Every structure is written in C-alpha cells, then in structure tokens.
Structure 1
Amino acid sequence: MSSSSNNYSWKNFDCAYQFYPSQHQQSENLALLLIHPIGVGLSGVFWQRFISAWQQQEQSYSIYNPDLLGCGKSEMPHLAYFPEDWAAQLKYFLETVVKQPVVLVVQGALFPVALELVNDPMQPNYIKGLVLSGPPAWKIMTEAGKPLQQKILWNLLFDSPVGNLFYRYARRRKFLQSFSTRQLFAEAEAVDPNWLDFLQAGAKNLDSRYAVFSFLASFWRKDYTKKIQSISQPTLVVFGNEASSISREGLAETPQQRLDLYLNNLPSGQGKIIPGRNVLPYESTKEFVAVVKDFVRQLSILI
C-alpha cells in the first residue's frame, strides 16, 4: 500500500494527511477524499482497512486521507469545533493540495461537514459526487439543536476538569470495547484488537478531547433539510442492514425507512443496504468497497 504522509498549514495550524497515488501512469479524472468520523481516538486511521481493500481491487484513483483539525496527527488546539470549521479546512485542502475533481466519502455524523463544504458558494467545482456511509437518522439531520443547551454542556461539563476526567475514563480499552459493541458494530467479535489499538493510540493525547467533546455537545446539530435538497452532485447513500441510532430521535427508523427518507430528498441520490451496522468501511469493508467502486466508475464515465 504505497502512500506518503504529508503536512500543510491552514490558519497557522499544522494539518496532516496521507496520499495514496493511483497505480496507473495516466492521470485519472477523479480522486477520493475521505472524511473520517469524530470520536475517542478516531482520525484518518479509521480508513486504513478500506484503503487497503480498495487498492487491492481498484488502482485507477488516488486517495487523499486528511486528519481533521483536532484529530490524529493534525494540530489539536483548544477550540470548540463546528462543521463550518472542518469544512473550511477541507475547502483549503481541496484548493491548495488536491486541486483535482473528487468524490467525498463521508463516515456517519460528519455528513454536516460535507454539507457545509458542498453548499459553500465559493467552493470551486471540485466535488463531483458524494458517498455517505451510515449518515445520521433523518430526524436527527432535520431538527436543529439547542444552542443554549450546547453552550452549557461545553462550558460546565466538557471544557472543565470533569470533562478531562471523563475523557480519561472513555479512552480505557474496556470502555471502548463496550461502546463499540453496543453502538457501532453488528457483531461483537468484529470489535478486534486492531480497532481497539488504534482508538487507544489516537486518544493518548488528551488534547484530542476537544474535537470529541465538540461532537458530543452537538455543535453539528441543525436543520439541514434545505442543504440536503440542494446537493446537485450524484450521491450514494449506504446503510447497514442493522443500522442503529445513538440518539433517541432516530430509534424509530428502520434502515430502509432511513434510506428512503434520504433518497426522497436528494435530487440525484441512489442507495444501497449492505451487511453491517454503523461503521461499514471497517466492519463490512469488502461490501462497502464494492458499492463505492461501482459508483465511482459510473461517475468517471459521466465527467
């Protein structure tokens, strides 16, 4: 798996990414830009299993795998992070580093980051398609959060000594295994040592808690209905057949109902349900690669 680790500066912050070049000598017309989830220990490392499987099957497309600010090998400033912040980082990354058409491949609740990026009126026409891996339940994506409650959670709980202690507890291997089994994976045995090892390694730096707590404070919660309905690019939505929701608002939706709600609101959407639950690129890698590969090949013919 040929790759290079690189850095760039955005707003005086040091940001990291990995680049996996196409194995074909001719220049391809599309690349993949991966957007990793936010969570204890999560970063671009989340995509390593997907990238390995992808390169075994498909060598015509380069892959860009950035660490979002506050995660992985990128700088971790003491900030409350909003989707607009990460979207601005990725916009700069597209314009100054990638500089070619891409398909955004987005995991889970980072869909709002992709929405802010795609709906930016100043965004150059680099984004040719989107793949949404297990996006949040429709009700979660279309009901705004409560700013006062978010601010209270951040100031009194997360950005406090209590939050520091909680993060130390949450990064313990036993907690990570229990949470992953209860909320993320369809099968308990799929929560393997590799998964737990990279979560623990990623959470070793306590400054990684600010990105995680920004997510837990729900700074990403808005009514995104209009922005979703404004996506003009072809969009593939992929759910696991055992997809669940961490939030109570999404518990009533079956995977098929959730998929139908998205497809009814995406101007150019298509959908797939594959085996798995909520972290499909990791737990159902073979099936996820197959549906993404078909989608990207379709796009490359159209552009």
Structure 2
Amino acid sequence: MQPSAVTNTSNLTASPSQFYTWHNYRCAYEVHQQINTTPDGIPLLLIHPIGVGLSRRFWQRFCRQWYNTGERNSIYNPDLLGCGESDMPHVAYTPSDWAEQLQYFLQTVVQKPVIVVVQGALLPVAIALVQKESNLIAGLVLSGPPAWALMTKKSPEWQQKFIWNLLDSPFGSAFYRYARTPKFLHSFSTRQLFASDNAVDAEWLNTLLAGAENPASRHAVFSFLAGFWRQDYTSFIASIQQPTLAVMGETASSISQDGKKETPDGRLAHYLACLPQGRGLKINGRNVLPYESTAEFVAAIATFINEVSELIDN
C-alpha cells in the first residue's frame, strides 16, 4: 500500500498510512513532522470535513505550508470512520461516534494533549470530543465554523431519519454516482466552497474523485446530509474552557437557508460572545480556508498555537 504522504517539499516527512482498531473497525491515520528536527510545541490533531471524496487528504496543503514556515509541531491526521482509508461500515454516523473514535485515538495513539484544528461543520465532533476528553485538549482552532443558526437549532429527529432513509436507498446510490462526477464536484465547489473559481484546481478535484471511488464512502456523506449533527450546541460551546480561535473567510457563506442572511462579521461575533476564551479573525477566502488560503490560514493560527504551547510549557 502506498503511503498517502504529503510530497513536493523538503521540509516535511510523513509516516506511511498507519492503522489502529476501534470497535473492530480498522482506522487510518498519518503523522507528520518537520524533517531532521525534533518536534516542538503541542501536537496538532486535524479533523477533516465530511463530503463527497473528502478525507484526511484535505489537509495536504496545510501540512506542507505549516512546515515550510518553520513550525515544528507534530501533526496527527486521522481518517474518520467512513472516509479515506478507514473502514466504511454501512451505518448512520453521528458526531458522538466520530468523537469517540478520536477520543480512543488520543488515548491510545497520541497519548498527550493536542490542539484540535477542525474544519467547517465538523465542529460538533470537536465539541463532543472536548466533552469526552477535555484533559487531552489544550486548545481549539475553528476553521470556517458553520452559521450560528445551524449550531443553535436542532433539526427534528423525524426529519433526520426521513432524509437518511431517502438517501440510504437506490435513489441515494444513484445520486452519489452523479455527485462524484467531475462536473458535479467542480460545480458544487465553485458555488458553495471557494471564493475564486480558479482555486478549484486539478489537485482538489483529483483528490475528491479518488476519495469517492469507493461507493461505501457515501454513508458518511449521507449521515452528514441527513443532519444528525444538527443540534443546539449553545451550552456546550459556552462550557469550552480551552483557548479557542475562530478563523472566518471574508466571503464565508452557508448552504442552509437559516444561515444565508448572516454576515461573516455577524457569525464571528456570535461565536466570540459564547466562547469563554474565544478570539477570532477573518482572512481571504470562503469556506475551505486551509485549502484555498493556505498561507494566510497558517499565518493566522501559528501565533495562537505557539501562545497556547507556551502556556502549557509554563
């Protein structure tokens, strides 16, 4: 098996794909560190987004840029169950399921505190992880967190189950075959994810095409589309005691009707008003900042991560 390591940089080394077993499922991850140096600072735990063809490979550009700027933190980059090289059981996944997977990963593989860097609407997974394993979370970086209305309004359970049953059918299988075509992936990316059409490049599309090749990858995507993550997280966000940085795109948008009227400034204000130790900033880009605005994103979070590392060291 070929390692899905980041390439084309002299400053980065990545382990080949490694595996651990959780609930009898085979789960994949990789570890990055700067080549020929001793890791320094708190390790990073990356949580990739869920979507057609998405997996830990979403973070390739981020890892390259992180080490090209001279940072020395180790990076743990796992595939969530149902994605990438991890097993893809035919189940309806919830944020709690993925958080339990990452909790086990922290306890058995990492075995030390981390700063969690979570992309987009996987924020509920990070929130659940903090609730389950607070002692191993030193801080959080929220990359393009969802519209505030999506994080504070529970969708009805009957609706979640209805959408899941609709998608978990021959109709859903046919939809997924279409959704993993280059035409759909390019159209969706330009309409919903990227600020610039030109940023939807061959690397992005080829990564998604490869990630969606296994039709079993649809179950994680359908779980996300069904809205099993749609709960009211207000009290949980307010209980996060770790330093938290929210990074918003200047043109951040929302697919949901509930979030379409919200401005990036308004969204950021909602999060900062609720987070006990929150801070925030905006950078160029839209909804996939670690990929579209990699250099700016790394620069934006590096100071925060180094500050948290110093706090822990002292």
User: What TM bracket, shorter-length normalisation?
Assistant: over 0.9
- Contact map agreement 1:34 1:64 (CA 8 A) in 2: yes
The residue aligned with 2:291 is 282
Partner of 2:204: 195
State the identity as a percent.
Answer: 60
Q: What CA distance in whole angstroms lies between the structure 2 residues aligned with 1:23 and 1:197?
A: 27
Provide the aligned length of Structure 1 versus Structure 2: 300
Corresponding position: 1:239 with 2:228 = no
Q: Deviations over 1:86-133 (max 9, x none)?
A: 00000000000001111000000000000001012xx26111000000
CA shift, 1:22, in A, is 4.7
Query: Where does structure 2 lack aligned partners over 5 or more consecutive residues?
Result: 1-11
Alignment correspondent of 1:32: 44
State the Cα distance separating 1:234 from its structure 2 match.
0.2
Please give the alpha-carbon distance, in whole angstroms, between the structure 2 residues aligned to 1:138 and 1:51.
Answer: 28
The residue aligned with 2:308 is: 299
- Whole-Å separation in 1 of the counterparts to 2:104 and 2:134: 10
Matched, 1:13 2:31: no
Q: Is the 8 A contact 1:24 1:60 kept in 2?
A: no
The alpha-carbon deviation at position 252 of structure 1 amounts to: 1.0
**Where do 1:91-240 residues align within 5 Å?**
91-120=103-132, 123=133, 125-155=135-165, 157-240=166-249
The CA distance in 2 between the partners of 1:163 and 1:26, in whole Å, is 48
> Does the alignment pair 1:3 with 2:14?
yes
Decide whether the 8 Å contact of 1:23 with 1:59 is kept in 2: no
Distance 2:40 2:294 in 1: 23
Q: Does the CA contact (< 8 Å) of 2:33 and 2:39 recur in 1?
A: no
User: Match for 1:80 among 82, 92, 95?
Assistant: 92
Given the alignment of the two structures, is residue 51 of structure 1 paired with residue 55 of structure 2, yes or no? no
Task: Give the Cα separation in 1 of the matches to 2:175 and 2:151.
Answer: 27
Moved over 2 A (4+): 21-29
Give the TM-score of the pair, scaled to structure 2: 0.94
TM-fit CA distance, 1:23: 4.5
| 1:22–1:28 contact (8 Å) kept in structure 2 | no
CA distances 1:247-291 after superposition (whole Å, capped 9, x unpaired): 010011110110011000000000010000000000000000001
Q: Aligned partners of 2:311 and 2:136: how far apart in 1?
A: 14
- TM-score, with length taken from structure 1: 0.97
